[in-house]
Structure 1
Amino acid sequence: MPLYKTITVSPTTKVLIWKIEESFEALSEGISLTEHCNQRVMGMKSDLHKRGFMSVRHLLAAEGYIDHDLYYDENGKPHLKDDKHISITHSYIFSAIIVSDQEVGIDIEKQRSKILRIAHKFTPIEEYRTLANDDAVMRKLTFVWCAKESLYKSFACPGVSFLQHIYVEDFRLDELVTTSTVTYDEKRTTYNVYFLEFDEFTCAYALLNAND
Structure 2
Amino acid sequence: MALYKSISVNSQTTVKIWKIEESYDDLFSPLDLKTESLSRVLGMKSELHQRGFLSVRHLLRELGYTDRDLFYDDNGKPHLKDGKHISITHSFIFSGVIVSDKEVGIDIEKQRNKIVIIAKKFIEYEFAYLDKKASDYINKLTVIWGIKESLYKLFATPGMLFIEHFLVIPFSIMDAETVCWIDYKGLKKRYTANYLEFEGFTCAYVIE
TM-score, with length taken from structure 2: 0.96
Cα distance in 1 for residues equivalent to 2:187 and 2:35: 37
Give the superposed CA RMSD: 1.2
Aligned letter for 2:108?
A: I
Cα distance in 2 for residues equivalent to 1:102 and 1:28: 31
Summarize deviations over 1:64-113 as a string: whole Å, max 9, x none. Answer: 10000000001000000000000000000000000000100000000000
User: Counterpart in 2 of 1:137?
Assistant: 137
User: Counterpart in 1 of 2:19?
Assistant: 19
Aligned ranges 1:110-125 → 2 under 5 Å:
110-124=110-124
Runs of 4+ with deviation above 6 angstroms: none
Residue pair 1:128, 1:137 contacting (<8 A) in 2 also:
no
1:147 aligns with 2:147: yes
> Kindly tell me: are residues 186 and 57 of structure 1, through their superposed partners in 2, closer, same or farther at Cα, counting changes over 3 Å?
same
Aligned letter for 1:86?
A: I
SS where residue 174 of structure 1 aligns?
Answer: helix
Cα distance in 2 for residues equivalent to 1:73 and 1:191: 23
Q: Give the % identical residues.
A: 53
User: Counterpart in 1 of 2:70?
Assistant: 70
- Tell me the CA shift for residue 185 of structure 1: 2.5
SS where residue 157 of structure 1 aligns?
Answer: coil
Cα distance in 2 for residues equivalent to 1:47 and 1:7: 28
Which stretches in structure 2 are left out of the alignment for 5+ residues? none
SS where residue 15 of structure 2 aligns?
Answer: strand
Cα distance in 1 for residues equivalent to 2:162 and 2:131: 22
Which stretches in structure 1 are left out of the alignment for 5+ residues? none
Residue pair 2:129, 2:170 contacting (<8 A) in 1 also:
no
- Tell me the CA shift for residue 207 of structure 1: 0.4
SS where residue 21 of structure 1 aligns?
Answer: coil
User: Counterpart in 1 of 2:205?
Assistant: 205
Aligned ranges 1:47-196 → 2 under 5 Å:
47-124=47-124, 126-127=127-128, 129-130=130-131, 132-133=133-134, 135-196=135-196
- Tell me the CA shift for residue 129 of structure 1: 4.9
Cα distance in 1 for residues equivalent to 2:164 and 2:41: 34
Cα distance in 1 for residues equivalent to 2:2 and 2:8: 18
Cα distance in 2 for residues equivalent to 1:45 and 1:147: 28
- Tell me the CA shift for residue 132 of structure 1: 4.3
Residue pair 2:143, 2:202 contacting (<8 A) in 1 also:
yes
SS where residue 97 of structure 1 aligns?
Answer: strand
SS where residue 173 of structure 2 aligns?
Answer: coil
Residue pair 1:85, 1:101 contacting (<8 A) in 2 also:
yes
- Tell me the CA shift for residue 170 of structure 1: 1.1
How many residues get paired? 207
Aligned letter for 2:113?
A: S
TM-score, with length taken from structure 1: 0.95
- Tell me the CA shift for residue 158 of structure 1: 0.6
